[in-house]
C-alpha cells in the first residue's frame, strides 16, 4: 500500500514537473517576441509623447485661464522655478497655470510695481513634460557678470521625461496588452499538458517524447510513471 501511494505521488510530481517545463519552454520561446513588442511600444510612445508635447506647445495655457497667483512671502519661499543666471532678488509673484498637457510658471521680482527680474518656464507633455522653454529677464548689477536680458532657450527636450514617458506609459500599455494574453496562453498550455496532450497543438501525445502531430516535445515523463520500467 505504501509502495503504491509513493509511486502515485511520484507520478503526480512527474506530471506536474513535465507540465511546468512545457509551459516554461513555451514562455522562453516567446520571450524574444515579448522583448521586440516592448521595444516597438517604447519607440512608438516616445514619438507620440514628443509629438503630443509639440502640439500642446502651440497653445498658450494661460489663454485658457485657471491660473493661480502666489504672492509675497509664499512666492519668496518657493523661489524661482529654475536657478537664476546670477544672484538677484527673491520672486514677489509666481503665476502658475497648469493644464493636462502644459505648465507655465511666470515668476517676477518687482520694484515699485515694475518687474525688474523675471523667469518664465513653459513645459509641455504628458505625463512628464518633455519640452521646456525658459525665458530669463535678468539684468545684472554686477558688471563682471554677463548681463542677460532677455534670454530665451527655445523649446528643448527634457532628458528625464524622454526616458520616463515611454517607460511609464509604454510599460503600462505593454503589460495591459500582454498579461491577459500570457495568462490565457499559459493556462491553455498547462491544461493540455496536464491532460497528456501536446502543449503546442493539443494533439494526444500517446506517451511519446515528441508530438506525433506537430513534432513539438511532449511533456517529458508525464505518461511514463517512474515505476513502469
> Which residues of this chain interact with Zn ion, rule CB under 5 A?
198, 200-201, 203, 211, 213-214, 216
User: In Å, how far are 11, 110, 148 from 137, measured between CA atoms?
Assistant: 80, 12, 7
CB-wise, 85 or 196, nearer to Zn ion?
Answer: 196
Residue 200 CB neighbour total at 10 angstroms: 20
CB-wise, 19 or 198, nearer to Zn ion?
Answer: 198
Q: Residue ranges of the alpha helices (H) in 57-158? A: 73-78
How far apart CA 204 and CA 115 sit, in angstroms, is: 83
166: CB partners within 8 A, 6+ apart: 42, 43, 45, 46, 49
Amino acid at each position: 500500500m505504501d509502495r503504491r501511494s509513493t509511486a502515485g505521488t511520484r507520478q503526480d510530481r512527474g506530471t506536474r514537473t513535465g507540465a511546468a517545463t512545457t509551459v516554461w519552454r513555451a514562455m522562453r520561446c516567446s520571450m524574444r517576441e515579448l522583448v521586440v513588442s516592448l521595444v516597438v511600444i517604447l519607440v512608438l510612445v516616445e514619438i507620440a509623447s514628443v509629438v503630443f508635447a509639440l502640439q500642446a506647445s502651440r497653445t498658450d495655457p494661460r489663454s485658457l485661464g485657471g491660473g493661480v497667483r502666489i504672492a509675497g512671502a509664499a512666492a519668496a519661499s518657493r523661489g524661482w522655478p529654475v536657478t537664476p543666471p546670477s544672484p538677484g532678488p527673491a520672486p514677489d509673484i509666481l503665476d502658475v497655470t497648469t493644464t493636462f498637457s502644459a505648465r507655465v510658471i511666470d515668476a517676477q521680482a518687482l520694484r515699485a510695481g515694475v518687474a525688474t527680474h523675471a523667469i518664465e518656464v513653459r513645459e509641455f507633455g504628458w505625463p512628464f513634460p518633455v519640452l521646456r522653454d525658459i525665458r530669463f529677464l535678468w539684468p545684472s548689477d554686477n558688471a563682471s557678470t554677463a548681463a542677460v536680458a532677455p534670454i530665451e532657450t527655445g523649446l528643448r527636450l527634457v532628458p528625464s521625461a524622454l526616458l520616463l514617458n515611454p517607460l511609464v506609459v509604454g510599460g503600462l500599455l505593454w503589460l495591459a496588452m500582454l498579461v491577459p494574453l500570457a495568462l490565457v496562453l499559459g493556462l491553455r498550455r498547462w491544461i493540455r499538458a496536464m491532460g497528456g496532450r501536446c502543449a503546442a497543438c493539443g494533439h494526444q501525445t500517446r506517451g511519446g517524447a515528441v508530438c506525433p502531430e506537430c513534432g513539438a516535445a511532449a511533456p517529458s515523463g508525464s505518461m511514463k510513471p517512474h515505476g513502469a520500467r
